[in-house]
Structure 1
Amino acid sequence: MATQPQRIEEHPDLMSLRARYAQASASPVAQAVEGLILLSGLYLAISPWIVGFSGASSITVNNLILGIAVAVLALGFGSVYERTYGMGWVAAAIGVWTIVAPWAVTGNVDTTKTVTSNVIVGAAVMILGIATSALGRMRRT
């Protein structure tokens, strides 16, 4: 007589993996990374008005939408890391797009303020996204 297959939610490997991710998300390093991603996303969303390139509507809309997306990702990392740790690559991809967006979206770059702002915040989001993905792989001793 065959035994009933075990439900995936009760699998010992999955339970230990969730416990490891929960432990990783509770570390001060993870909380700092999550906070920095949130701040980077908020800055990206309001950067056209802070830096002064809100007149360029395409890059303004781009930064606003991507900034909100990064902030929402950061809130997910902070609240349910064990379910969103794999989304760190999305933040990294948004960071790369933020770097190239001044040229890709507008076709020409009006000022160095736009490029400088986007490259700095894009690099920060990319690095923090990669760090978020790596947090679950770190072993605490």
Structure 2
Amino acid sequence: MADVSHQRADITSHPDVTEMRDRYDRVLGGRDVPLVDGPVFLTGLYCAISPWVVHFNSTQPALTTVNLIVGISVGLLGLGFTVMPARMYGLSWGMCVMGVWLVIAPWVVSSGGGPDKGIIISNAIIGGLTCLLGLLCLGVAMKSKRESHT
């Protein structure tokens, strides 16, 4: 076997460490990607599959369609926030609108005798979380815009 050292190298002594840190900061734009973009994507994913999780896909087809479309939209916004943050964070207000729509949608589009308690709770939680994450994304967008002007 080759004589291989198993000591961990300290990256602070690397000759390009400052360039790597600058590039990392430029790519992320000073943002905490996992703390904002990840939950947005996961909220959209859950919203899209919630009709099958809460089991209202056969009893409320209109609400199933609403949750599927809004969930895919929120998930795509989450991916857009990760890929093109400078362009996409301006659309954060749309998440707030979608969150409010998710909260009121069970009463607006429900067929039959109205929504049951599980549907209301699920959509209220998803809608509230979507609105909260939209406000958080708006805060991040305003913070980064403020920092770019200084």
TM-score by length of 1: 0.77
Ranges in structure 2 where 5+ consecutive residues have no aligned partner? 1-24
Which of 43, 48, 51 does residue 45 from structure 1 map onto? Answer: 48
Distance 1:22 1:110 in 2: 42
Distance 2:81 2:44 in 1: 13
> Contact (CA 8 Å) 1:21, 1:81: kept in 2 or not?
no
Query: Is 1:68 equivalent to 2:101 in the alignment?
Result: no
Distance 1:106 1:62 in 2: 10
Residue in 1 that maps onto 2:120: 115
Alignment of 1:53-132 (within 5 A): 53-55=56-58, 56-106=60-110, 108-132=113-137
- Which structure has the larger Rg? 2
Ranges in structure 1 where 5+ consecutive residues have no aligned partner? 1-18
| Percentage of pairs with the same residue | 35
- Aligned-pair Cα RMSD in Å: 2.1
TM-score by length of 2: 0.73
Structure 1 segments of 4 or more deviating over 3 A? 19-22
